[in-house]
């Protein structure tokens, strides 16, 4: 069995808020971000969150490559295909859910529950969703972070599956 | 003496009187009653890692043994994890208190049933001191700036680099490292602001320290420009602005904030 450390990627994201007045005297807000990959030590600054997602995606791809380095292309394809059924259902709403959870945690949790019921108990147990109903604000922040991780993993898997599909054709 | 002054004195006193002094910034060290603990004395790396983990989780009132094992020996089976934990804990107590009489409680690591925590009364930790000094400074700011300056200075004197640099790839240390770095950056900026009128060159130095930690920290460039202007050093102020423009463009593809632009306009 592979060491868990070889199967784990952690990311630290820092957001700095800048509020300023534009030329017309209207208040504007700007977010500046910094994301770091804990296990590798790489860092990147960003303004658009999609750049942070791209950063995460790259690191996760590397992790998957490492984890499946000794497997045959067929086995790799099998792993990805089996994952696809679960991840595809979540991917369409993953990012939206994360944002709505930030805006309205309880509504977000309800949505997540609905999603979870669609993709089976396995994922439900992983996220321990029932425990979040009585959660504190900090718990919702944790949930938001986890959702962001899930979203990026989904995007990464999507890419891989698309590539595999193209190869097949 | 005001309450804040008292608190500041107590913090300073603890730094010199605690029997165990732990430094986490820049490089790790632990000194018991004036004697530094060598890496040979720590023995296995996991012993040191467990101690650093307990230091990192110091704000938690108690840590369940299983949670600790989950974080540090995540691949171990239950029995193996328990055994590893026991060995590492024994290693810590042996390193910190080699002459502790048998059947007496350890002085530095408190055990309550199956939970563990460090004994705050007996240990001085630079990271905790930074936090405590900054809390006093923030409270004093605006009402007693002299105390605020002294407290910020004491906090920054404790800081000599990143938190536990030998653990930067460990998941369990990253949250604390990030939290402390933001705290330190804000302390540099706050102190730099307080020094602006009295000692602008000190403001420049502090701003540069902040920039060396995070070169995108725009507040630091603004203060640097203001300080150079106060000094009458227009070329240096322009250079700070240009550096700011270059960094923000490279890192974010952004222009400086209008506030930074206004300072620059006032130079021109």
Are residues A2 and A19 in contact, defined by beta-carbon separation less than 8 angstroms? no
Res. A117 pLDDT band, cuts 50 70 90: low
The per-residue b/e assignment along B70-94, b for 16 or more CB within 10 angstroms, e otherwise, is ebbbeeeeeeebeebbeebbebbbe
pLDDT for the residue A6: 61
Q: Could you give the strand order of the β-sheet that contains B29-32, starting from the edge strand earlier in sequence?
A: B35-36, B29-32, B20-23, B123-125
Are residues B22 and B123 in contact, defined by beta-carbon separation less than 8 angstroms? yes
At B34-46, the pLDDT tens digits run 999 999 999 999 9
Res. A54 pLDDT band, cuts 50 70 90: confident
pLDDT for the residue B113: 92
Are residues B194 and B148 in contact, defined by beta-carbon separation less than 8 angstroms? yes
Res. A140 pLDDT band, cuts 50 70 90: low
pLDDT reading at A46 higher than 60:
yes
Calculate mean pLDDT across residues B132-148: 96
Q: Of A13-27, A67-81, B59-73, which range is least confident? A: A67-81
Q: What percent of chain A has pLDDT over 70?
A: 53
Q: How far is CA B161 from CA B132, B152, B190, in A?
A: 18, 16, 19
C-alpha to C-alpha distance for B55 and B166, rounded to whole angstroms: 14
Query: Minimal Cα distance from B257: which residue of A?
Result: A20
At A90-109, the pLDDT tens digits run 444 555 555 554 455 555 55
pLDDT reading at B175 higher than 80:
yes
pLDDT for the residue A4: 47
Q: pTM value? A: 0.74
Calculate mean pLDDT across residues B212-235: 96
| A5 close contact with B: CB closer than 8 A | yes
pLDDT reading at B234 higher than 90:
yes
pLDDT reading at B185 higher than 90:
yes
Average pLDDT, chain A: 70
Q: What is the dihedral of CA B46, B52, B55, B59, to 10 degrees?
A: -80
Matching CATH number, B198-268, of 3.40.50.300, 3.40.50.11540, 1.25.40.10, 1.10.1740.10: 1.25.40.10
pLDDT reading at A133 higher than 70:
no
Calculate mean pLDDT across residues B6-21: 94
At B87-123, the pLDDT tens digits run 999 999 999 999 999 899 999 999 999 999 999 999 9
The residue ranking higher by pLDDT, A45 or A148, is A45
Are residues A112 and A97 in contact, defined by beta-carbon separation less than 8 angstroms? yes
C-alpha to C-alpha distance for B247 and B188, rounded to whole angstroms: 19
| A41 close contact with B: CB closer than 8 A | yes
**Chain A residues touching B218 at Cβ < 8 A:** 18
Interface probe, candidates B252, B258, B261, chain A, greatest A C-beta count within 10 A: B252
Q: What percent of chain B has pLDDT over 70?
A: 99
Q: What are the φ/ψ torsions at residue A45 (nearest 5 degrees)?
A: -90, 150
C-alpha to C-alpha distance for B127 and B178, rounded to whole angstroms: 12
Q: What is the dihedral of CA A63, A69, A71, A75, to 10 degrees?
A: 40
Q: Could you give the strand order of the β-sheet that contains B115-118, starting from the edge strand earlier in sequence?
A: B63-64, B115-118, B109-112
Matching CATH number, B19-124, of 1.10.357.10, 1.10.10.10, 1.10.1740.110, 3.30.565.10: 1.10.10.10
**Residues facing residue A35 across a β-bridge:** A13, A44
**Chain B residues touching A8 at Cβ < 8 A:** 171
Q: What three-state secondary structure class fits B1?
A: coil
Q: Where are the CATH 1.25.40.10 domain residues in chain B?
A: 198-268
Calculate mean pLDDT across residues B216-234: 97
| Distance in Å, alpha carbon of B219 to nearest chain A alpha carbon | 10
User: Could B169 and A22 be called an inter-chain contact, meaning their C-beta atoms sit closer than 8 Å?
Assistant: no
Domain boundaries in chain A?
A: 68-168
Q: What three-state secondary structure class fits B61?
A: coil
CA nearest neighbour of B223 among B248, B246, B200: B200
| A25 close contact with B: CB closer than 8 A | no
**Chain B residues touching A30 at Cβ < 8 A:** 254, 257
| CA dihedral for A93, A94, A98, A99, sign (positive or negative) | negative
Distance of CA A97 to the CA centre of its chain: 11
Res. A111 pLDDT band, cuts 50 70 90: low
pLDDT reading at B217 higher than 60:
yes
pLDDT for the residue B2: 67
Helix count and strand count (H, E) for chain A: 5, 3
């Amino acid at each position: 069995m592979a060491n868990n450390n070889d199967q784990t990627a952690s990311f630290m994201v820092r957001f700095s808020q800048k509020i300023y007045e534009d030329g017309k005297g209207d208040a504007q807000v700007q977010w500046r971000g910094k994301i770091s990959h804990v296990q590798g030590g790489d860092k990147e600054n960003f303004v658009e969150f999609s750049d942070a997602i791209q950063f995460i995606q790259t690191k996760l791809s590397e992790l998957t490559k490492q984890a499946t380095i000794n497997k045959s292309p067929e086995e790799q394809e099998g792993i990805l295909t089996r994952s696809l059924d679960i991840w595809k259902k979540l991917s369409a709403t993953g990012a939206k859910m994360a944002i709505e959870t930030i805006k309205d945690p309880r509504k977000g949790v309800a949505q997540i529950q609905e999603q979870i019921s669609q993709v089976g108990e396995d994922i439900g147990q992983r996220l321990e969703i029932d425990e979040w109903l009585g959660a504190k604000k900090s718990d919702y922040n944790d949930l938001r972070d986890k959702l962001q991780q899930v979203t990026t993993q989904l995007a990464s898997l999507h890419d891989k599956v698309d590539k595999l599909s193209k190869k097949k054709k | 003496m005001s309450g804040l002054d008292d608190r500041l004195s107590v913090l300073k006193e603890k730094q010199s009187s605690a029997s165990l002094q732990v430094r986490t910034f820049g490089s790790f060290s632990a000194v018991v009653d004036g004697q530094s603990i060598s890496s040979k004395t720590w023995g296995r790396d996991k012993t040191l890692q467990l101690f650093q983990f307990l230091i990192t989780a110091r704000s938690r009132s108690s840590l369940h043994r299983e949670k600790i094992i989950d974080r540090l020996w995540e691949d171990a089976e239950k029995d193996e994890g328990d055994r590893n934990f026991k060995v590492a804990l024994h290693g810590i107590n042996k390193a910190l208190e080699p002459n502790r009489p048998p059947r007496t409680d350890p002085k530095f690591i408190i055990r309550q049933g199956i939970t563990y925590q460090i004994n705050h009364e007996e240990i001085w930790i630079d990271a905790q001191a930074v936090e405590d000094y900054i809390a006093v400074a923030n409270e004093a700011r605006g009402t007693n700036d002299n105390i605020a300056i002294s407290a910020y200075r004491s906090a920054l004197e404790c800081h000599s680099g990143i938190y536990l640099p030998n653990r930067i790839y460990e998941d369990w240390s990253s949250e604390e490292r990030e939290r402390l770095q933001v705290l330190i950056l804000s302390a540099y900026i706050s102190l730099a602001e307080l020094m602006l009128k009295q000692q602008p060159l000190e403001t420049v130095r502090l701003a540069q320290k902040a920039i060396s930690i995070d070169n995108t920290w725009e507040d630091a460039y603004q203060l640097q420009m203001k300080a150079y202007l106060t000094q009458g050093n227009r070329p240096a102020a322009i250079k700070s602005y240009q550096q700011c423009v270059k960094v923000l463009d490279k890192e974010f593809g952004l222009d400086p904030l209008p506030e930074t632009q206004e300072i620059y306009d006032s130079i021109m």
